[in-house]
């Protein structure tokens, strides 16, 4: 019998070619993929709350019959509003959806429905705005009612009930045949249940306790393979031989003299760490963590100078063109006329013209350029260095391990510094980045202003933009207004950046200079607007999250984030890091009404602290470590019932088992299935290490 990862989903009963395409869109190609498509959340439909017992203010699952419905367009703002009244023997609840007129064809008076959403009270009546909904019929009994019911991530054209039925069928016929990929002795020691049973319970849990065990089992498996990868990478790296740079004992003193400011103690410490690594004959692989603006880039330049003195080349890779350009400017400013001699610096990005690019390629290959800064363009095939011995990768989380490997392959085991402004909680660092050495910059340069953060809901938000306009004028500062999406989405009903930009120009900011950046602009347009903002030719920048990484405009000290509840915690922190970069105080205003307690917690955390590490710890507590992991873990991570704190224990257990296994069998010759599973599930992590 072929194993499940070889059985195309299309061969499953109930899936034809058309549905197979829908599944493909969801990343599901095989029966195994399907079994690993985890529910997004669950609804406990064993005993539904009678309507008269519903407590407002909480997310709840409610069931009843459709008593009444109506759809109309509002006169004043043209919004379509669709309303349904649901009732059971005990009471009635009112539901409203905006801009979803098609719902009129979905609901019929008399239908039995299950709804899920946050209940509130409006005009003395229980109400849910835009709940998730499902019509239930008798034949659904067993899968969609009377049990803990899985709610799956869907794609257009696929319904919950269909997917549940298919999943149940797949489990019935294939769960027992799933291959056990974790070695038996480990399963035994860790008291883990068979994989098939656990997967079945993850989809259709019999009760909450068994469900928790199933989640633990699947998490363990994910973590275990990840850990094996991390440890293997480390072992592989330690064996390599790199270039031993010659660095004078007092070089860091001269280096510090390049800057018009005093380096912080934290910066100096990290420079010494980098120096020692670069002197050593084995390649450096160091992760430099530090909040936005704490001075990582400045520190990273040390290696460029060290390589240069040794007659070698260095490279800095940034995730966006704007950032690459910013780094390039920094290099020109500090290094091109340094006391160390004239360093030749070049910028390589994908908008560079073909002819110029070829010339640059040649110059890099001939060693006529000392430092190359660029985007992904750096790892393209045509780029080859004469003698690259030092590489910096900025904003690690934007690049995968694969890109890191591609860049290093351009040199002979160069020293690598990976920088991230999204700090990883201490508890997790070893486990996640066990293959890297870690440096941390905790203090910010002296003389930075404070950032005050506020959260406003509903009416409190009125007048915010008028205040922003006043600040901008009175304090001669600049402001960012950030949106999560670029166009009005009917479904989400968000005020989108483009619309609001048009609105602002006529209203609150009509006397100010205002610009717009979003993901659909051409690079050139985005760059021009950004440059204008940088030169203070614009007062206000309305933007989507393209702003996220690295932009440095010290005079911008005000930020408003719309629909803050829709952003992740570390993303919010990153965004906020764009302000407060000068000596002046800064203000960040979060707007939006979080519908979940998680959203609430994220916003509270942000209001309370500006410390990136504290925020990372909070994020870990809210979301768990799954966010950092591989393919399957993604699904687990979305799961609200996963307890992040127990997951950390599981993670540690997995790490322990992985290291025991590798200590004994470093090449996995005696664990063929482990090796195979890694190559299949995490090929990007280990292609090199496990080759052969």
- Which residues form the interface with ligand ADP (CB under 6 A)? 261-264, 267, 290, 292-298, 445, 552
- How far is Cα 169 from Cα 584, in angstroms, rounded to an integer? 62
Residue labelled with tokens 């799954």:
626
Q: Which is nearer to Mg ion, 281 or 400 (CB)?
A: 281
CB of 289 to ligand ADP, least distance (A): 10
CB of 241 to Mg ion, least distance (A): 9
Binding flag, residue 242, Mg ion (CB under 5 A): yes
CB of 483 to Mg ion, least distance (A): 45
150, 42 Cβ separation under 8 angstroms:
yes
Q: Which is nearer to ligand ADP, 54 or 421 (CB)?
A: 421
Strand, helix or coil at 629? coil
- How far is Cα 193 from Cα 101, in angstroms, rounded to an integer? 47
CB of 141 to ligand ADP, least distance (A): 57
φ, ψ of residue 550 to 5 degrees: the values are 65, -10
Using a 10 angstrom Cβ sphere, with 0-12 exposed, 13-18 middle and 19 or more buried, the burial of residue 24 is middle
Side-chain half-sphere exposure of 480, counting CA atoms within 13 A: 34
Contacts of 378 (CB under 8 A, 6+ apart): 315, 317, 348, 372, 407, 410
Q: Which is nearer to ligand ADP, 120 or 585 (CB)?
A: 585
Element (H, E) at 263: none
Q: Which is nearer to ligand ADP, 294 or 485 (CB)?
A: 294
Which of the choices Mg ion, ligand ADP, none does residue 242 contact, using the CB cut-off of 5 to 8 A by kind?
Mg ion
CB of 437 to Mg ion, least distance (A): 12
563, 544 Cβ separation under 8 angstroms:
no
Which of the choices ligand ADP, Mg ion, none does residue 637 contact, using the CB cut-off of 5 to 8 A by kind?
none
Strand, helix or coil at 289? strand
CB of 288 to ligand ADP, least distance (A): 9
Would you say the C-alpha torsion 268, 271, 276, 277 has a positive or negative sign?
A: positive
Binding mask 6-35 for Mg ion (x = CB under 5 A): ------------------------------
Binding mask 262-291 for Mg ion (x = CB under 5 A): ----------------x-x-----------
**Which 630-649 positions form the footprint of Mg ion (CB under 5 A)?**
none
Q: Which is nearer to Mg ion, 131 or 242 (CB)?
A: 242
Instruction: Tell me which stretch binds Mg ion (CB under 5 A): 236-244, 373-381, 395-403, 418-426.
Output: 236-244
**Which 414-443 positions form the footprint of Mg ion (CB under 5 A)?**
415
Residue of closest CB approach to Mg ion = 242
Q: Determine how many CB atoms are found less than 10 A away from the CB of residue 533.
A: 24
- How far is Cα 339 from Cα 590, in angstroms, rounded to an integer? 46
Q: Which is nearer to ligand ADP, 292 or 371 (CB)?
A: 292
CB of 327 to ligand ADP, least distance (A): 8
Which of the choices ligand ADP, Mg ion, none does residue 296 contact, using the CB cut-off of 5 to 8 A by kind?
ligand ADP
519, 546 Cβ separation under 8 angstroms:
yes
Q: Which is nearer to ligand ADP, 102 or 261 (CB)?
A: 261
Q: Which is nearer to ligand ADP, 262 or 359 (CB)?
A: 262
Kindly state the DSSP code that residue 445 receives in the 8-state scheme: P
Q: Which is nearer to Mg ion, 389 or 610 (CB)?
A: 389
CB of 242 to Mg ion, least distance (A): 4
Q: How far is CA 674 from CA 4, 180, 516, 657, 677, in A?
A: 16, 10, 50, 13, 5
# chain residues binding Mg ion, by CB under 5 A:
4
- How far is Cα 667 from Cα 388, in angstroms, rounded to an integer? 30
Q: If DSSP states are collapsed to H, E and C, what string results for 613-646?
A: HHHHHHHHHHHCHHHHCCCCHHHHHHCCCCCHHH
Binding flag, residue 411, Mg ion (CB under 5 A): no
Q: Which is nearer to ligand ADP, 66 or 299 (CB)?
A: 299
Buried b (16+ CB within 10 A) or exposed e, 308-326: bbbebbbbbbbbbbbbbbb
Which of the choices Mg ion, ligand ADP, none does residue 298 contact, using the CB cut-off of 5 to 8 A by kind?
ligand ADP
CB of 232 to Mg ion, least distance (A): 21
Radius of gyration of the chain (CA): 28
Supply 635's token pair.
């699904």
Q: Which is nearer to ligand ADP, 292 or 658 (CB)?
A: 292
CB of 142 to ligand ADP, least distance (A): 55
Maximum distance among all Cα pairs of the chain, rounded to whole angstroms: 85
CB of 645 to ligand ADP, least distance (A): 30
Q: Which is nearer to Mg ion, 119 or 417 (CB)?
A: 417
Side-chain half-sphere exposure of 13, counting CA atoms within 13 A: 8
CB of 545 to ligand ADP, least distance (A): 17
Strand, helix or coil at 59? strand
Angle formed by the axes of helices 265-279 and 296-309, nearest 10° = 30
Which of the choices Mg ion, ligand ADP, none does residue 263 contact, using the CB cut-off of 5 to 8 A by kind?
ligand ADP
Binding flag, residue 594, Mg ion (CB under 5 A): no
Q: Which is nearer to ligand ADP, 329 or 634 (CB)?
A: 329
Which of the choices ligand ADP, Mg ion, none does residue 234 contact, using the CB cut-off of 5 to 8 A by kind?
none
CB of 285 to ligand ADP, least distance (A): 19
Kindly state the DSSP code that residue 179 receives in the 8-state scheme: -
Which of the choices Mg ion, ligand ADP, none does residue 264 contact, using the CB cut-off of 5 to 8 A by kind?
ligand ADP
- How far is Cα 11 from Cα 28, in angstroms, rounded to an integer? 13
Supply 57's token pair.
């203010």
Instruction: Tell me which stretch binds Mg ion (CB under 5 A): 240-248, 587-595, 667-675, 679-687.
Output: 240-248
Q: How far is CA 386 from CA 18, 243, 312, 367, in A?
A: 51, 14, 8, 5
- How far is Cα 654 from Cα 652, in angstroms, rounded to an integer? 5
- Which residues contribute to the site for Mg ion (CB under 5 A)? 242, 278, 280, 415
């Amino acid at each position: 019998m072929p194993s499940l990862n070889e059985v195309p989903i299309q061969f499953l009963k109930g899936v034809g070619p058309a549905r197979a395409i829908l599944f493909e869109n969801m990343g599901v190609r095989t029966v195994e993929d399907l079994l690993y498509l985890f529910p997004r959340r669950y609804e406990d439909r064993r005993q539904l709350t009678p309507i008269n017992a519903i407590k407002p203010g909480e997310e709840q699952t409610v069931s009843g019959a459709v008593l009444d419905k109506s759809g109309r367009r509002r006169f004043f703002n043209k919004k379509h509003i669709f309303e349904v009244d649901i009732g059971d023997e005990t009471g009635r609840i009112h539901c409203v959806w905006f801009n979803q007129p098609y719902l009129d064809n979905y609901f019929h008076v008399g239908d039995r429905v299950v709804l899920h959403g946050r209940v509130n009270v409006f005009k003395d009546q229980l109400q849910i705005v835009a709940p998730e909904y499902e019509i239930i019929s008798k034949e659904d009994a067993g899968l969609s009612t009377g049990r803990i019911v899985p709610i799956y991530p869907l794609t257009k054209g696929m319904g919950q009930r269909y997917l549940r039925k298919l999943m149940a069928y797949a489990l019935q016929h294939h769960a027992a045949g799933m291959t056990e990929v974790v070695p038996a002795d480990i399963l035994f020691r860790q008291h883990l249940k068979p994989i098939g049973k656990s997967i079945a319970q993850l989809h259709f849990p019999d009760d909450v306790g068994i469900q928790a065990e199933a989640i633990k089992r699947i998490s363990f498996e994910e973590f275990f393979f990840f850990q094996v990868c991390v440890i293997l990478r480390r072992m592989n790296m330690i064996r390599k031989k790199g270039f031993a740079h010659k660095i004078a004992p007092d070089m860091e003193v001269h280096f510090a003299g390049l800057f018009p400011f005093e380096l912080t103690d934290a910066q100096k410490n990290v420079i010494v760490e980098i120096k020692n690594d670069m002197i050593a004959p084995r390649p450096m692989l160091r992760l430099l963590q530090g909040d936005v603006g704490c001075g990582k880039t400045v520190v990273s330049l040390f290696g460029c100078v060290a390589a240069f003195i040794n007659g070698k080349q260095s490279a800095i890779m940034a995730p966006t063109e704007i950032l690459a350009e910013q780094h390039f400017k920094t290099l020109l400013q500090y290094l091109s006329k340094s006391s160390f001699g004239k360093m030749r610096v070049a910028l390589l990005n994908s908008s560079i013209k073909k002819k110029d690019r070829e010339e640059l390629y040649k110059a890099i290959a001939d060693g006529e350029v000392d430092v190359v800064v660029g985007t992904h363009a750096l790892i393209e095939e045509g780029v080859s260095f004469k003698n690259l011995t030092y590489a910096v990768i900025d904003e690690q989380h934007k690049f995968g391990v694969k890109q890191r490997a591609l860049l290093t392959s351009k040199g002979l085991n160069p020293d690598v510094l990976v920088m991230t402004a999204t700090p990883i909680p201490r508890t997790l660092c070893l486990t996640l980045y066990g293959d890297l050495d870690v440096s941390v910059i905790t203090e910010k340069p002296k003389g930075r202003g404070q950032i005050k953060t506020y959260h406003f809901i509903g009416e409190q938000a009125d007048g915010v933009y008028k205040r922003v306009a006043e600040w901008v004028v009175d304090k001669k500062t600049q402001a960012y207004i950030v949106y999560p999406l670029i166009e009005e989405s009917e479904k989400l009903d968000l005020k989108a950046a483009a619309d609001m930009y048009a609105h602002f120009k006529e209203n609150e900011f009509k006397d100010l200079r205002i610009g717009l950046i979003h993901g659909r602009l051409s690079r050139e347009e985005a760059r021009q607007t950004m440059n204008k903002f940088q030169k203070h030719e614009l007062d206000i920048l309305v933007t989507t999250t393209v702003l996220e990484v690295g932009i440095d405009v010290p005079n911008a000290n005000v930020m408003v984030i719309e629909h803050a509840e829709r952003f992740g915690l570390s993303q919010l922190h990153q965004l906020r890091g764009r302000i407060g970069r000068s000596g002046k105080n800064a203000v960040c205003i979060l707007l939006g009404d979080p519908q979940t307690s998680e959203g609430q917690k994220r916003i509270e955390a942000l209001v309370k602290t500006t410390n990136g590490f504290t925020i990372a710890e909070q994020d870990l507590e809210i979301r768990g470590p799954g966010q950092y992991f591989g393919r399957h873990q993604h699904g687990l991570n979305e799961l609200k019932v996963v307890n992040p704190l127990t997951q950390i224990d599981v993670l540690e257990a997995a790490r322990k088992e992985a290291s025991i296994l590798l200590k004994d069998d470093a090449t996995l010759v005696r664990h063929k299935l482990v090796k195979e599973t890694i190559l299949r599930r995490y090929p990007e992590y280990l292609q090199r290490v496990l080759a052969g």
